[in-house]
Amino acid sequence: MDNVNYDVIATEDGSLIKMWTRGVPVEESAKQQLGNTARMPFIYKHIAVMPDVHLGKGSTIGSVIPTLGAIIPAAVGVDIGCGMMAAKTTLTASDLPDNLGPLRSAIEKAVPHGMSPKTRGYRGRDEGSWHTPPSAVDLAWATLKDEFDVICEKTPKLKNTNNYRHLGTLGSGNHFIEVCLDESNGVWFMLHSGSRGVGNAIGSHFIELAKQDMRTHFINLPDQDLAYLNEGTSHYDNYVEAVSWAQRFARTNRDVMMHNLIAAVRTVITKPFETHVEAINCHHNYVQRERHFGEDVLITRKGAVSARPGELGIIPGSMGAKSYIVRGKGNADSFHSCSHGAGRVMSRNEAKRRFTAADHALATAGVECRKDDNVVDEIPMAYKDIDAVMHAQRDLVEVVHTLKQVVCVKG
C-alpha cells in the first residue's frame, strides 16, 4: 500500500522534486520553473513543493528550497518576512455588532493600508504609511534602529527607504486584516503583511548584486532570477545580515498592527475582552538555517510555512473562503513545511478580465469588505480550492481551528 502522499519527479540530471499536489492543478510553467531550481548545483536532497504552488519570479511560490553554501535572493523575494499573525480573543459571535461597517472603518483608520487616498478612503496617510507614527511605532522602531544603522553603513541606499513610517502598516495586494469566527463562534483577529518598502529595497538590491556576480564569473543560469550569492563572500554576509533584520522588521510590523487593531476594536466593542488566548506569528517568505537529515542547511521557504512537530501555523484561504490554524506534523521530506495559503490559479490581470465587481460581491456575500473594481483581482475564484489544498497536505499538518472571516480589510 502506498502511504506516501506526494509525487516524486526526477529531472534529466537526476535532481529530485517532491510534490504535495495530488488533486490540485499545477501549471506547466511552474513545473518548468521547479525543474530549473532543482538543477542548481547547491540544492540539498530535493525541492519540496507545496499544494499552493504557482509561478513566481525565478522560483515558484509554494516551494521549499534547501541549499548548501549559497542563497538565491530572488527565491526569498522582495516581500521578505511576509507572513501571518492570528490571535484568538475571549469574544464570541454574539458580542459583535449587527452592523459590521463601523468595525471595518475603525480598523481602516487605525492601520494605514493601500497605495493611494482613493483606495484608502481616508486622509492623513501617504502611500499607505504613517503621517505621524503613534507611540507604539516609536517603541518598536527603537528595537530595530541600531541594527538598521549598521546595515546602512554597508548599504547606504537603504537609508532612503520608508522604513520607520511603514512600520505597523499593511501594504497592498493580497495583504489583509480580518475578523474571523472559529468553529465554536470564537472571535479571532488575523492579518497578513511583511517587511514593506524596506524589505523590497533589501531584496531588490541583493538580487541585482547576485546577478552582477553571475556576470562577473561568467556563470550561465537557466533563469537570471536564480542568481545566487556564495557563502564566504561579502555580498553573502551582508545579505544574511540584512535579510535577517528584514524578517525581524516584518514580525515586528505584524505585532504593531495587531496592537493597533485590538485598540481599534475596543473603540467599537465596549465589552471587556482579552486577546492572544492563542497567538501565532509566522513567516512564509524567508530564509533561515535549520538542521535536516543530519546536516545544517539554509532553508528558503518561498510561500511556505514551518511545520515542525507540534508547531502552530496559519494557512489562510481567499476572501470568502475558510482559513486554518494548523499544527505541524514534522514531515521530514517536506523539510518540516506546509503551504502558506490557497495559491493563485490565475494572474491578477486575468482575474480582472474574467470577473466583475458584481461577481466579487456575490463571492464575498456575508463578509464586510470592499466590493469595488479595485479588488476584483482578489476574488476567491482567482485562487485554488482551499479544501483541495488542505487535503493534499494532510500528512504535513493537522487542522486545529477552522476560521471564517466576517470582516476583511484589504490593502
102, 266 Cβ separation under 8 angstroms: no
Residue 126 pLDDT: 46
Angstrom distance (rounded) from CA 60 to CA 65: 10
User: Active-site residue 340, yes or no?
Assistant: yes
**DSSP-derived pairing of the beta strands 397-410 and 176-181:** antiparallel
Ordered domains of the chain (ranges, CATH):
7-345+383-410 (3.90.1860.10)
Residue 319 pLDDT: 82
Angstrom distance (rounded) from CA 188 to CA 258: 11
In the block, residue with C-alpha cell 521578505: 80
Helix-then-strand count for the chain, H and E: 12, 17
Residue 120 pLDDT: 36
Collect all residues with Cβ–Cβ distance below 8 Å to 325 and sequence separation of at least 6.
86, 182, 278, 280, 312, 313, 314, 399, 400, 401, 402, 403
List, for residues 192-215, the tens digit of each pLDDT value. 999 999 999 999 999 999 999 999
For the chain, which ranges sit under pLDDT 50? 1, 116-126
Residue 374 pLDDT: 87
Choose the catalytic residue: 46, 192, 259, 340.
Answer: 340
| Total-model pTM | 0.94
Angstrom distance (rounded) from CA 132 to CA 302: 33
Residue 123 pLDDT: 37
The C-alpha cell that represents 146 in the structure block: 541600531
Angstrom distance (rounded) from CA 301 to CA 62: 8
Q: Which helix (H) or strand (E) holds 104?
A: helix 101-110
Residue 318 pLDDT: 84
Residue 125 pLDDT: 40
Residue 3 pLDDT: 67
